[in-house]
Amino acid sequence: MSGEACGVIGAYAPGQNASHLCYYGLFALQHRGQESAGIATSDGHTVTVQKDLGLVAQVFSDASLHALEGHIGIGHTRYSTTGSNRWENSQPVNRQVGQISIALGHNGNLTNTAALANRYPVDSSQGSSDSAVMLAAIAAAVDEGRSDDRGVELALASTLPSFEGAFSLVVMDQGRLFGIRDPHGFRPLCLGRLPETVGGKSGWVIASETAALDILGASFVRDVAPGEMVIIDASGLRSRFPFPLTDPKLCVFEFVYFARPDSQLNGRNVHGARTEMGRILAREHPVAGDVVVPVPESGIPAAQGFAAVSGIPYADGLVKNRYVGRTFIEPNPRLRDRGVKLKLNPITDTLVGKRVVLIDDSIVRGSTTRQLVTLVREAGAREVHLRISSPPYRWPCYYGMDTSDQSTLIAARLDQAGICRHVGADSLGYLSLAGLLTATGADPRGFCHACLSAEYPTDIAGAQGKFWLEEPLLALEHAAD
């Protein structure tokens, strides 16, 4: 696979240290982005931000968490889809507007960043991502009406409808926490209730996935609805809907790959959905084999489902080094290729002399899959039959995956037989789109699958490449030097 943008968390926890809640929640969301991590907190008076490049455990220490004082906090793990991997692009992004301090964390990708940036320009010190542009727009609205004690809320309500594309946001000022989901709900966002403390106080958590609620002992309340803005402050929780109503379109790849298997999406356990993908795949593309082998981790449930229906024994044939990050998330192709060899090692006893049915979740660029097939063959497999628990990935994504360049997508250049030859498999079978949507157990009309079908839910005419905003900013910097 390729990249997906970010995990977000927010906590409103009277009497507790929100930084620690965000820290542990970010561990549960580390799989969503590994370039940088950050936390912003407020004690009711001052917003403090700490962020840096690296994993959550590398960015924060016990001392730095204690320095992030306050009962309100937001956190972010980043994978870039707009702007490069620079410190300035790490999140949360923050702005001071008079006496009001704002911090924002974003999961998704805007499709009208160019139009917004023309109206709300940012300089390189503020970052070169769509998130920085969003904050600039919100800050401008706050500046216009900051005398109101609900300045940020009103600024969000007036500004959010101008954002187009995918965005699940956590936003905070000194006294409030906001959770926002775009009107299509491309990216997930859920709401949880923290247990009461000794003093009888409770609190709230907003997170990209329910797995982050679990690690905090928070109970799942509901998903933040598409088009909803949740506001949490000293008076409690309320919500408003600043967007025109439209059809929900959750990214179907949340079920295929992005979300943790222990998370719940649309009321369905992700592991269960992936197992059903494997069951349907076995019916659609049967094959004679001796062993079903998953590509860990997201290929495991599908392989279990495939084995159950096909009657071919399931066995682990690849061991994952759990201390190496996802090759999908690595932004550099050279690092992505090297990462496969660092990440996976074959169990030869499982593979030698066998007809192996190798189950993976997707093929995007093809380089990783080719190396996997080679690895299994070199370990002694007699045949390698590749089965993929999603359809061919043919079209660019503009809603939060780093696949906006269609020329890099192997299924856009080759047919199925050509892909099979390229990766070196004996046969290749993809799950159908209908099969994938059936496996989710949800209304098939409620998903975005543009990367598989070219059916884009929004206008993408204004969508830009990953580095388009950064290039003119850097050119100005060089000219100044």
Active site residue ranges: 6
Which distant-in-sequence residues (6+ apart) come within 8 Å of 403 by Cβ? 2, 3, 364, 393, 396, 397, 409, 451
Cis, peptide link before residue 92, omega less than 30° from 0: yes
Phi, psi (5° rounding) for residue 177? -120, 135
288 within 8 A of 311, measured Cβ to Cβ: no
Query: Could you say which DSSP state residue 314 is in?
Result: B
Angle at 108 between CA 81 and CA 41, to 5 degrees: 105
Which distant-in-sequence residues (6+ apart) come within 8 Å of 367 by Cβ? 333, 336, 337
351 within 8 A of 381, measured Cβ to Cβ: yes
Cα radius of gyration rounded to whole Å, the chain: 22
Half-sphere exposure of 50 (CA within 13 A, CB side): 20
Can you count the helices (H) and strands (E) in the chain? Answer: 18, 23
Give strand ranges (E) for 301-371.
318-320, 344-346, 355-360
Classify residue 232 by burial, with Cβ atoms within 10 Å: 0-12, 13-18, 19+: buried
Which residue, 3, 48, 51, 57, is CA-closest to 30? 57
The Cα 450–Cα 333 span in angstroms is: 24
Distances (CA, A) of 151 to 47, 140, 436: 16, 11, 44
Query: Could you say which DSSP state residue 224 is in?
Result: P
Residue type, 468: W
Question: Would you tell me how many other CB atoms lie within 10 Å of the CB of residue 347?
Answer: 14
